Amino acid sequence: LPPSSRLFSYVSPDLLSRPTFSRLLALLDNYEAQTGREETVTAAEQREEREFLAAALDTPVLALLERFVLSKGLYPSAEAFRADLHSMWFGLYSRSGGKVLDSSGFEHVFHGEVKKGTVSGCHNWVQLQALERAGRLEYLGYTWDGPWTGFPDVLSLQFRWDGHPKPRGSLLVGSSPEFDLALFTLCFLARPDRQCHVSLGGEAATIQTYSWDKQRLVASAYPLTP
């Protein structure tokens, strides 16, 4: 591993102010990272969920996914797809043996959780840069960086979040929230609970998704690395 340093040297404020980025950041303060603590979703937080998905659905990449799933007959209407998109990502379930509803696909993948002292999930670079900017993320180096020379790229890394270790995690770096959402949703619908092989800009990539309890709820989604 290379020596520890900052993960992000610079992130453009203009980028983070774009509709999907700003709405993602607004959502990230809604979650209780520790599993076993109930997630209370307020009316304001529900509105933030709807605003994030509306902004994402207003982008070309989500419009393309919507057209694709409708063309394949996976949904009877755009409204049905949009309702399921909200359900699969924001539907609550329990990672604490049924004690409380303490998790969702969105929280696990885009925000991250702490279970038994170790970071679980947290496969989104926008969250990592926000944590690092707040002084809460200690970057400990990478185990794989590639195959792209520009953004987005796939990174496998180690870090500590509020002192809790993530021994190895992988994510797309530099991608938009709507790109991650579209790619993970596509693989969750087409290849749930297994490897999903895709071509991104001519380079092969593999996305792993898991469903929660064999339901139509996202348990996890992330790019695999060697």
Structure tokens at 99: 């004690």
pLDDT at 204 (0 to 100):
92
Q: What is the pLDDT of residues 116-132, one digit of tens each?
A: 999 999 999 999 999 99
Cis preceding-peptide flag for 177 (omega within 30 of 0):
no
Pairing of strands 164-173, 118-120: unpaired
Tokens at residue 168, please?
Answer: 């190895």
d(CA 181, CA 89): 9
**Residues that are catalytic:** 108, 123, 166
Q: 221: which strand partners? A: 209
In the predicted structure, residue 2 carries a pLDDT above the cut 60: no
The strand order across the sheet containing 137-146 reads 137-146, 153-161, 164-173
Mean pLDDT, range 144-169, rounded to an integer = 94
Mean pLDDT of all residues in the chain?
Answer: 95
Average pLDDT (134-147) is 93
How buried is 68 (Cβ within 10 angstroms: 0-12 exposed, 13-18 middle, 19+ buried)?
middle
Query: Above 60 in pLDDT, residue 3?
Result: no
Bridge partner residues of 139 (DSSP): 159
pLDDT on residue 1: 46
Res 174 pLDDT > 80: yes
* pLDDT per position as a tens digit, 97-117: 999 999 999 999 999 999 999
Q: pLDDT (tens digit, 9 = 90+) per residue, 39-97?
A: 989 999 999 999 999 999 999 999 999 999 999 999 999 999 999 999 999 999 999 99
Domain ranges of the chain: 13-224
How far is Cα 75 from Cα 168, in angstroms, rounded to an integer?
Answer: 36
> Which tokens belong to 193?
């609970």
**pLDDT over 70, % of the chain:** 98
Contacts of 23 (CB under 8 A, 6+ apart): 48, 51, 52, 55, 177
Q: How confident is the model at residue 4 (pLDDT cuts 50, 70, 90)?
A: low
